Structure 1
Amino acid sequence: MTAPRRIATFDHDGLVFDVRDTGPLDGDVVVLLHGFPQTGASWADTAALLHQRGYRTIVPDQRGYSPRARPRGRFAYRSSRLVADTVALIDTLGTGPVHLVGHDWGAVAAWSTAARRPDLVTSLTTVSVPHPGAFLRAMLGSDQLVRSYYMFLFQLPWLPELAIRSRPRVLERTLAGTGMTPAQIDQVRQDIVRGGALTGGLNWYRAMVFNHPAALRARVTVPTTHVWSDGDTALSRRSAELAGQYVDAAYRLEILSGVSHWVPEEAATTLAAIIDRTATDAASRPV
């Protein structure tokens, strides 16, 4: 294995992805995948705390968000391409298996990557969004369907973008209702709406119809922790409770009290400790 080197970008599918590579260069690698409607900047607080624990963090701006990685059309955002992006990033690092962490849509990509390429993942920590199979089952047996109403609205072409750009106060009230702070909302305006990433982010939702049904049954075979917060307006407790049924390895469910959906920023200290514990436990298990 060659000596580790910093990366600022990686290439895949003819696209160029921006990457934040920080922390001790010789530390164990934690890859942090962001969700909607945010960029990798949402991981800043958690990453800084992981650096204090000796980890090197790799935080990409994902497909649809990096300015040079915004393909047209929703088909380009199907799950297989998101997994392939993550695999390309890990291969670019050349460090071997990583500790993989994802929040929101980043959690979906992380679940799928761990299921399809367990050889590249030492441990998995997912935040807010459970395994796709658990999410679907929760929609059929809890209030998850009602909580997910916006996902159906996002399927419409161009109308969500028009509504968000023409009625900014509606966006502000909606995000504030989920627990976002004014500073976070300003970041969404700057990075996503004004920054040109809105359609790319929405295309993750629009590509759901192209995802293979096998993803709903895919098993994860690496040590996993799922994190759910009881102030999450988008994800039900039932979805979190079902997630472990798709893991054939050491598994832990962590429930955070009084925390909104935006866990990486609102509960960074707790989340960094959870990631560290999951990584440490996985590394100490016999091969």
Structure 2
Amino acid sequence: MGERLETYGHDGLTFDVRDSGPEGGAVVIALHGFPQTSASWGPVTQHLTAAGVRVLAPDQRGYSRGARPYAVSAYALRSLVGDVLALADAAGAERFDLLGHDWGGAVAWAVAAAHPDRVRTLTVASTPHPRALVAAMLHGQALRSWYIGAFQLPVLPELLLGSPRVAGPLLARMRTPDPAAVLALLADRSTARALLNWYRAAWRPLLGRTATPFPRVRVPTTYVWGALDPALGRWAAEHTGLCVEADYRFVVLEDAGHWIPDERPAELARLVLERLGGSAPDPGDLP
């Protein structure tokens, strides 16, 4: 393994990363979603590192101060996947385990699908396989995902999200953890634009009719979904298993919503460790 990381580089950009746990432990790369940062993995990381796992949690493209390119094209999925592989390389991890939530889950699906030789196991919270998500649009998901269309507008979404009067009630309705931190993140217009560019870059292939079917995943996978998730519905969750051609476990948390790493960190960590073949410590034993 390489030295303890604070930053790493890719595509001429500099990414911030939280590197926790024993350097000799199995490497889990934890990918956050919108509109959070690597800090959202803090509670889960406590459990994983207590069990001897090394957790690498980057601030992804657009979230790291040194990695906020202007162009929408810079946020294409292939670039986001490359960012993850560059982190693994910087850590000296030829193979690694992946953990993702929300947009980080989408990237994790993509990395596992494209690079099964690098990924030992995959655990995704909330986000269904992209192929299942697209198919679910005809089964009620389109209504849940209305905001994605709104985010395609130029300039206006950044202005609205940068206004506490608009973003505050929206975050409250979404039950977003740590809304003060999210408001601070969105207050900077260049940051808000970068975060929205994830949605814009994902939409472009569909608008240009150049989208290709998202590959199935061929690594051992655990998918965790909260039954109270207002953004990602049951149809896509239940059909995600059809997109995995390996050992697969689907876990439904009946009383959880979208923010599983924040709401159920001990349980999510336990599921990750079970997928890795380990076992979680008693939460009471954590520092």
Q: Where in structure 2 are the equivalents of 1:68-107 lying within 5 Å?
A: 68-107=66-105
CA distance in 1, matches of 2:158, 2:189: 13
Preserved contact between residue 178 and residue 260 of structure 1 (Cα < 8 Å): no
Q: Helix, strand or coil: the match of 1:80? A: helix
CA distance in 2, matches of 1:229, 1:81: 29
TM-score by length of structure 2 reads 0.92
CA distance in 1, matches of 2:189, 2:152: 21
Listed as ranges, the gaps of 5+ residues in structure 1 are 282-287
1:149 and 1:70, CA in 2 relative to 1: closer, same or farther beyond 3 A?
same
Tell me what 2:148 maps to. 151
Tell me what 2:171 maps to. 175
Tell me what 2:42 maps to. 44
Q: Where in structure 2 are the equivalents of 1:1-287 lying within 5 Å?
A: 3-140=1-138, 142-166=139-163, 168-181=164-177, 184-194=178-188, 196-211=190-205, 213-214=211-212, 216-280=213-277
Tell me the percent identity: 45
CA distance in 1, matches of 2:88, 2:116: 12
Preserved contact between residue 161 and residue 186 of structure 2 (Cα < 8 Å): no
Tell me what 1:285 maps to. none
CA distance in 1, matches of 2:2, 2:67: 25
Tell me what 1:284 maps to. none
CA distance in 1, matches of 2:59, 2:237: 26
Preserved contact between residue 48 and residue 55 of structure 2 (Cα < 8 Å): yes
1:93-151 Cα offsets, whole Å, 9 max, x none, are 112211101100001100000000111100001111111100001111x2110000001
CA distance in 2, matches of 1:189, 1:196: 14
CA distance in 2, matches of 1:192, 1:118: 35
Listed as ranges, the gaps of 5+ residues in structure 2 are 279-287
1:125 and 1:195, CA in 2 relative to 1: closer, same or farther beyond 3 A?
farther
CA deviation after TM superposition for structure 1 residue 213, in Å: 2.5
Task: Tell me the matched-pair count.
Answer: 274
1:195 and 1:7, CA in 2 relative to 1: closer, same or farther beyond 3 A?
farther
CA distance in 2, matches of 1:262, 1:237: 16
Q: Helix, strand or coil: the match of 1:125? A: strand
CA distance in 1, matches of 2:229, 2:259: 8
1:192-229 Cα offsets, whole Å, 9 max, x none, are 43485211111000001345633x33011100011110
RMSD, matched Cα: 1.5
